[in-house]
A = this chain, B = another copy of it.
């Protein structure tokens, strides 16, 4: 389909506004002959006269009026695109689709979002909370731009940027677990360890951090979220590992003991960002990382 050009439409609009080819040409910063030819071309494309050339003024035909109305809408829309781009030309402006896993989002976001909105007021974060695998899938399909994940995790074709490392704490009910107020990795008994359900990276991180492998026959509850897990611990079903960021008074109810690990190399997970290697906005993401690093768990 052959279409009018934006330039032609702007010529028509200028004529409508000024009622004269000459003045319109001036506004469009072209010669009158150029504008004249442009309008003629437009009239040819549309197969209709658009401009009524009078001695004193150039007015529009009814169809010309209809057309100029659409044309001005089109010009406005086009200019809006440009204006928007101007706004976003500063770094870390505009929409950014950020994926976060459930074992980070509720703890880190309330702390870090206010900082981000203050530091990058033009940033328009679109948050998506999902399990790591789904997030990576979306990232691969370019439906997301940036992920906030827990590592180690295999993320093919992606850049990883580690922000910080956080310790795990063991959580036990008031009268369960060891007598002391601390714990050692080797004291963990796999059969009493409570975990999130499969798919949560926290599950795997906890296990591997403690160098544990679950017996395949194990049949026990798996929780769908950390709050649920904590409730299970409190009820005395067993003990669990919690990342430090989840160890806040709001998250840990009374009746739960938090036990630090006394090992030389205590269990940890790493928190970091992840984006497509091919994404041209690496610089933006690194800037963002700089701010996210200021967050310290607990």
Contact = CB atoms under 8 A, between A and B. Distances in A.
Contact of A6 (B5, B60, B62, B82): B5
A52 B276 contact: yes
Interface string A275-297: 01011110000000000000000
A157 to B, nearest CB: 8
Interface string A1-34: 1111111011000000000000000000000000
A7 B1 CA distance: 11
Q: Residue among A9, A61, A81, A276 with the most chain B CB within 10 A?
A: A81
Interface residues of A, number: 57
Interface of A, secondary structure class, is mixed
Interface string A71-110: 1011101111110111011000011110000000000000
12 contacts: A3-B75, A4-B82, A5-B6, A5-B7, A9-B78, A45-B85, A52-B279, A54-B142, A62-B94, A62-B126, A63-B85, A65-B95
Interface of A: 1-7, 9-10, 45-49, 52-55, 57, 59-63, 65-67, 70-71, 73-75, 77-82, 84-86, 88-89, 94-97, 126, 141-143, 145, 276, 278-281
